[in-house]
């Protein structure tokens, strides 16, 4: 119980800081917005290919879930960087000499990143809808955003782990850029899995991003079927549980070492 | 608040030492022995000064005592709890004001304190009242709703100190509390430190580079160098140990300086002599008696005294006499070989 209260304290602080950095909120939207506008129109002529695997909308409608996930991936994987600032500028030590447990600091950060990621993704969803992307009905927005929240909670774990183990900003950004883009590309975000070479499709099946994209796409097109959804949800939830445990373990181990 | 202050005072009767270490050592993975078997005792309720040059081991010691680092060997107890086996209890009983400002610039002064109150598990029903009281003490009530980015260096420091007081700690760690502040602000911060010490009766463990600060505030001090404690005592004791007075004089050439110094050392009122080029510093119990004797000895060796002065020892002198006068590298790494070479060159 104390752990959740403590995690909430850290969460409260991160969200307060997020709210005060208004310019950052907009800047982070530029990249996904460019993706959806430029890539969405560049690849518009791939529509027959996509239709051949059973997707009946336009290419923009196909890639919209991918761009929502792009936002979620990058917001959450970048989110842990302030761990490095906190260690450099003392807030971390302040928290570490207080009765708050190390795991709850990691968890609080992950919860905050996950909420921020959801907010950013909801703005991109709004942009997609404004561009004429059709969704089955407005009520699916909530389960879509819930999927983003859960996925981001797990994915922010990567960020927290990399931030806790890196000693410098350079290491952090190096590792994060190495991880972020491939994980995005290696999923059906921009192109259907069915059209990938089998070895790439296999690799994509090992990527939790794949399951989140598929789940969101099904919800947007209103083609939800029980079995695939159950598989996708259990993969995502399993991923989240593993990441939360791993992140709090690594974080606890790393912050006890001298920085 | 009053009840806690009384409680803190009553603890004094049961607990003898606020901080106690027993052969505490820390060896980093690089092989650097930052803290070398130190044993310190900080009496409950006192302000204890922990002094030392850059890289002497002050920060490492403070990090061990505040549970941020684990010692390699030895024991340390803070507020009666073992820092390795009972870290949580230690954390509940200490306040730690770091050297660098930890103020969150995005948040207001009040939000900064509220955050720290939450982190320190101060119950919701007293949190807001406690924050009000602390803001009153550090005189920031009128600007509590402004973002901390607008605060001056002194205000940020006060906010940091306020943060360390929120949980009414039994032991407050102040790491270089007045570093980089102007004279007016330093005096003000000293006032706050005295005020909170009088009001709450907690023990204060203070590190500083400023000898005047240690002299003004501390009941007892320890000087650490190269990871070892060099000396412990009250500022007055340490100054007296050097002798009541200091005679500093400069001679025209260093030819017979060693003979002169050894002759001076034989005098009964002399406690210690140190040489810096042609400048000789003599610590003595009686400067009035010594001065004519110095002239006599110099005369016998045909040495001319260029100038001479008589002063009282300060804590600076105590510090220098125990840590030496060589310059330290700022990064904390201390190259013994280089120093030895330099010393050899000076002696030759």
Q: Could you tell me if A6 lies within 8 Å of chain B, comparing CB atoms? A: yes
pLDDT digits (tens, 9 = 90+) for B243-299: 778 888 998 877 788 888 888 888 888 888 888 888 888 888 888 888 888 888 888
Domain membership flag for residue B1: no
Specify whether B117 is located in the same domain as B148.
Answer: yes
Specify whether B71 is located in the same domain as B157.
Answer: yes
Residues of B in contact with A89 (CB under 8 A): 100-102
Of B211, B233, B255, the one marking the end of a domain is B233
Q: How far apart are CA B37 and CA B44, in angstroms?
A: 22
Going by the DSSP 8-state scheme, the letter that residue B109 receives in this structure is: H
pLDDT digits (tens, 9 = 90+) for B207-217: 988 888 888 89
Of B233, B259, B292, the one marking the end of a domain is B233
Say what the pLDDT of residue A112 is.
Answer: 96
- Crossing angle (nearest 10°) for helices A226-255 and A141-165: 30
- In percent, the amount of chain A with pLDDT more than 70 equals 100
Asked if A90's CB is within 8 angstroms of B100's CB, the reply is yes
Residues of A in contact with B94 (CB under 8 A): 97
Q: Domain total for chain B?
A: 2
The model's pTM is 0.81
Of B214, B233, B252, the one marking the end of a domain is B233
Say what the pLDDT of residue B14 is.
Answer: 65
Say what the pLDDT of residue B330 is.
Answer: 46
Flag whether pLDDT at B146 surpasses 80: yes
Specify whether B298 is located in the same domain as B193.
Answer: no
Confidence band, pLDDT 50/70/90 cuts, at residue B331: very low
Reduce the DSSP state of residue B282 to 3 states and report it. strand
> Bridge-partner residues for B96, per DSSP?
B173
Domain membership flag for residue B2: no
Distance from CA of A106 to the nearest CA of B (A): 14
Q: How far apart are CA B11 and CA B17, in angstroms?
A: 10
Give the chain A residue nearest B92 (alpha carbons).
Answer: A99
Hey, how many other C-beta atoms are within 10 angstroms of the C-beta on A139?
10
Strand duo B73-78 + B81-82: pairing = antiparallel
Say what the pLDDT of residue B239 is.
Answer: 82
Asked if B98's CB is within 8 angstroms of A98's CB, the reply is no
Distances (CA, A) of A12 to A18, A113, A119: 10, 11, 15
pLDDT digits (tens, 9 = 90+) for B13-34: 567 899 999 999 999 888 888 8
Give the chain A residue nearest B103 (alpha carbons).
Answer: A91
Specify whether B203 is located in the same domain as B294.
Answer: no
Asked if B92's CB is within 8 angstroms of A99's CB, the reply is yes
Chain mean pLDDT for chain B: 85
Flag whether pLDDT at B334 surpasses 80: no
Flag whether pLDDT at B3 surpasses 50: yes
The phi-psi region of residue B123 (left if phi > 0; otherwise alpha if psi is between -120 and 50; otherwise beta) is: beta
Residues of B in contact with A25 (CB under 8 A): none
Specify whether B228 is located in the same domain as B244.
Answer: no
Asked if B116's CB is within 8 angstroms of A17's CB, the reply is no
Distance from CA of A84 to the nearest CA of B (A): 14
Asked if A96's CB is within 8 angstroms of B67's CB, the reply is yes
Asked if B111's CB is within 8 angstroms of A100's CB, the reply is no
Say what the pLDDT of residue B1 is.
Answer: 56
Specify whether B309 is located in the same domain as B199.
Answer: no
Q: How far apart are the first and last CA of chain A?
A: 29
Site from A97, A167, A252, A257 to mutate, B interface, most B CB atoms within 10 angstroms: A97
Please report, for the domain that includes residue B82, its CATH number: 3.40.50.300
Distance from CA of B82 to the nearest CA of A (A): 14
Write the residue in B63, B106, B116 that is nearest to A94 by C-beta: B116
Specify whether B52 is located in the same domain as B98.
Answer: yes
Q: What residues make up the domain containing B309? A: 238-347
Say what the pLDDT of residue B342 is.
Answer: 46
Please report, for the domain that includes residue B300, its CATH number: 3.30.70.100
Asked if B66's CB is within 8 angstroms of A99's CB, the reply is no
Specify whether B177 is located in the same domain as B268.
Answer: no
B-proximal residues of A, 162-201, CB under 8 Å: none
Asked if A94's CB is within 8 angstroms of B119's CB, the reply is yes
Flag whether pLDDT at B347 surpasses 60: no
Domain membership flag for residue B187: yes
pLDDT digits (tens, 9 = 90+) for A147-191: 999 999 999 999 999 999 998 999 999 999 999 999 999 999 888
Q: How far apart are CA B15 and CA A254, in angstroms?
A: 34
Specify whether B169 is located in the same domain as B37.
Answer: yes
Give the chain A residue nearest B173 (alpha carbons).
Answer: A97
Asked if A93's CB is within 8 angstroms of B98's CB, the reply is yes
- ipTM for this model: 0.81
Site from A19, A85, A90 to mutate, B interface, most B CB atoms within 10 angstroms: A90
- Residues of chain A short of pLDDT 50, as ranges, are none
Asked if B120's CB is within 8 angstroms of A99's CB, the reply is yes
Q: Could you tell me if A252 lies within 8 Å of chain B, comparing CB atoms? A: no
Distance from CA of B211 to the nearest CA of A (A): 26
Domain membership flag for residue B12: yes
Specify whether B26 is located in the same domain as B149.
Answer: yes
Asked if B118's CB is within 8 angstroms of A9's CB, the reply is yes
Confidence band, pLDDT 50/70/90 cuts, at residue B4: low
Q: Could you tell me if A20 lies within 8 Å of chain B, comparing CB atoms? A: yes
Q: Give φ, ψ of B58 to 5 degrees.
A: -60, -50
Asked if A91's CB is within 8 angstroms of B107's CB, the reply is no
Residues 6+ apart with CB under 8 A from B279: B248, B249, B250
């Amino acid at each position: 119980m104390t752990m959740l209260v403590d995690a909430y304290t850290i969460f409260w602080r991160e969200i307060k800081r997020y709210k005060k950095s208004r310019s950052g909120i907009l800047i982070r939207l530029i990249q996904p917005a460019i993706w959806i506008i430029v890539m969405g129109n560049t690849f518009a002529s791939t529509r027959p290919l996509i239709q051949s695997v059973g997707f009946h909308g336009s290419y923009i409608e196909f890639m919209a879930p991918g761009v929502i996930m792009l936002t979620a991936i990058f917001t959450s994987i970048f989110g842990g960087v302030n761990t490095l600032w906190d260690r450099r500028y003392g807030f971390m030590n302040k928290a570490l000499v207080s009765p708050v447990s190390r795991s709850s600091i990691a968890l609080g950060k992950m919860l905050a990143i996950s909420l921020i990621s959801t907010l950013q993704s909801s703005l991109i969803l709004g942009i997609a809808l404004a561009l004429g992307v059709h969704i089955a009905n407005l009520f699916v927005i909530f389960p879509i955003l819930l999927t983003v929240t859960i996925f981001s909670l797990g994915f922010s774990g990567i960020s927290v782990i990399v931030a806790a183990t890196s000693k410098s900003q350079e290491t952090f950004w190096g590792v994060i850029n190495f991880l972020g883009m491939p994980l995005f590309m290696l999923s059906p975000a921009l192109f259907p899995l069915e059209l990938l070479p089998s070895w790439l499709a296999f690799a994509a099946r090992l990527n939790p991003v794949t399951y989140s994209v598929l789940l969101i796409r099904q919800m947007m097109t209103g083609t939800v079927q029980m079995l695939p959804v159950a598989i996708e949800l259990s993969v995502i939830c399993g991923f989240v549980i593993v990441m939360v445990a791993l992140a709090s373990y690594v974080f606890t181990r790393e912050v006890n070492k001298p920085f | 608040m009053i009840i806690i202050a009384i409680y803190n005072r009553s603890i004094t009767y049961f607990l003898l030492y606020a901080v106690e270490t027993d052969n505490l050592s820390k060896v980093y993975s690089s092989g650097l022995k930052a803290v070398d078997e130190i044993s310190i005792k900080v009496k409950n309720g006192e302000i204890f000064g922990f002094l030392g040059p850059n890289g002497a081991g002050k920060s490492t010691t403070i990090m061990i005592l505040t549970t941020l680092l684990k010692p390699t060997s030895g024991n340390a107890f803070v507020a009666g709890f073992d820092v390795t086996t009972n870290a949580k209890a230690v954390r509940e009983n200490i306040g730690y004001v770091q050297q660098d400002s930890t103020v969150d610039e995005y948040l207001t002064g009040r939000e900064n304190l509220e955050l720290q109150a939450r982190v320190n598990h101060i119950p919701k029903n007293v949190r807001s009242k406690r924050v009000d009281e602390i803001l009153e003490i550090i005189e920031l009530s009128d600007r509590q709703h402004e973002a901390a980015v607008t605060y001056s260096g002194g205000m940020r420091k006060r906010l940091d100190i306020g943060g360390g007081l929120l949980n009414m700690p039994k032991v407050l760690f102040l790491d270089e509390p007045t570093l980089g502040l102007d004279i007016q602000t330093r005096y003000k911060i000293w006032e706050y430190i005295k005020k909170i010490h009088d009001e709450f009766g907690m023990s204060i463990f203070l590190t500083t580079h400023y000898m005047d600060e240690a002299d003004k505030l501390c009941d007892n001090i320890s000087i650490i160098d190269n990871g070892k404690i060099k000396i412990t005592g009250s500022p007055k004791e340490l100054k007296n140990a050097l002798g009541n007075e200091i005679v500093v004089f400069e001679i025209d050439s260093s030819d017979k300086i060693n003979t002169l110094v050894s002759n001076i050392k034989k005098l009964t009122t002399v406690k210690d002599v140190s040489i810096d080029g042609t400048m000789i510093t003599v610590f003595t119990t009686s400067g009035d008696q010594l001065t004519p004797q110095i002239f006599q000895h110099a005369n016998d060796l045909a040495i001319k005294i260029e100038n001479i002065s008589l002063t009282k020892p300060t804590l600076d002198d105590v510090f220098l006499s125990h840590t030496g006068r060589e310059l330290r590298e700022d990064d904390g790494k201390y190259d013994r070989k280089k120093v030895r070479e330099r010393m050899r060159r000076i002696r030759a």
